Structure 1
Amino acid sequence: MRALDLNAATWRRSSYSNQDGGQCLEVADDFAPAVPVRDSKNPHGPALTFAATGWTSFVSAVKSGDLTA
């Protein structure tokens, strides 16, 4: 996968996040077929990039409770 220029990315935070920060992820849309993800506490740090299909599967598993410790 090629390197993505995320300088102009618009990041969105989880709807479960609160204004106090905490342990939150931010996701940038409009980079199909990739999904960039970063730590909201470190917005200038690195971003991980996932294939859109893998990210969709992960989010679905989290929402359905299939990922348990």
Structure 2
Amino acid sequence: MSADFAAAKWRKSSRSNSEQECVEIAEASSAIGIRDSKNPNGGHLALKRAVFAGLLNRMKAGDFDI
């Protein structure tokens, strides 16, 4: 999937501490981007909105050991 995140506003959870060890997300027209705040220039993972929503739902349901 290709999505343009060049002008995207990246954000992290309000529950994150002040350390730079967070997952950040940004919205593009067709996708949600996910990146590591420790390395913002290291690339990102782009997921279709429905896939991202499914991932969040599974995380909230406790389907992953995180």
Contact 1:37–1:47 (CA<8 Å) still a contact in 2?
Answer: yes
Task: Give the aligned partner of residue 38 of structure 1.
Answer: 35
Task: Give the aligned partner of residue 63 of structure 1.
Answer: 60
Counterpart of 1:50, as a letter, is L
Residue ranges of structure 2 left out of the alignment (5+ in a row): none
So what's the TM-score if we normalise by structure 2?
A: 0.81
Query: Which stretches of structure 1, 4 residues or more, deviate above 3 A after TM superposition?
Result: none
1:17-63 C-alpha deviation (Å, 9 max, x unpaired):
210222x211102x133111111111111011011111100011111
CA RMSD of aligned residues (A): 1.7
Residue ranges of structure 1 left out of the alignment (5+ in a row): none
Task: Give the aligned partner of residue 6 of structure 2.
Answer: 7
So what's the TM-score if we normalise by structure 1?
A: 0.78
The alpha-carbon deviation at position 16 of structure 1 amounts to 3.1
